[in-house]
Amino acid sequence: MIRFASALSAFLLLTLAAACNSNSNSAPADMAAEPAVAAELPGQALYVQNCAVCHGPDGKLGLNGAHDLTKSNLNATGRVYMVTQGLGKMPSFKNQLSPEQIQQVVDYSLTLK
């Protein structure tokens, strides 16, 4: 019984170690993949063309009274509304961008932190 228990715990330890190992092996690959994924967001090009002039490539420029997007608390719904309708000096994009493009550019803007 004792033997069985220690064999079992040795087995558990081995599987645990294996699980941890495979985790730590895949982590750097995941982290390296992340910026590439972000760069491939279709909204990035739309953002550069339509938004960066006021908000800056990193969202922080604040030209023409534009708000710092990295500090914005607006969620996706609020941002879609904002980009579609405009507000104050922020222009409406409903004639320039399709609803799908607005969604994409908003998704990209949410990655600016």
* Residues within the interface to ligand HEC (CB under 6 A): 50-51, 53-55, 64-67, 69, 72, 74, 79, 82-83, 87-91, 93, 105-106, 109
CB of 43 to ligand HEC, least distance (A): 8
Position of tokens 């800056």? 56
Nearer to ligand HEC, 44 or 109 (CB): 109
Show the tokens assigned to 105: 């550019």
Q: What are phi and psi of 87, to 5 degrees?
A: -165, 125
Going from the C-alpha of 77 to that of each of 6, 7, 73, 74, the distances in angstroms are 55, 55, 11, 8
Angle (CA) 64 49 108, round 5°:
90
How many C-beta atoms surround the C-beta of residue 61 within 10 A? 16
**Token pair for 80:** 């879609």
CB of 113 to ligand HEC, least distance (A): 13
Nearest residue (CB) to ligand HEC, 6 versus 92: 92
- 32/39 with CB nearer ligand HEC: 39
Residue closer to ligand HEC, measured from CB, 28 or 88 = 88
- Shortest Cβ distance from residue 96 to ligand HEC (Å)? 8
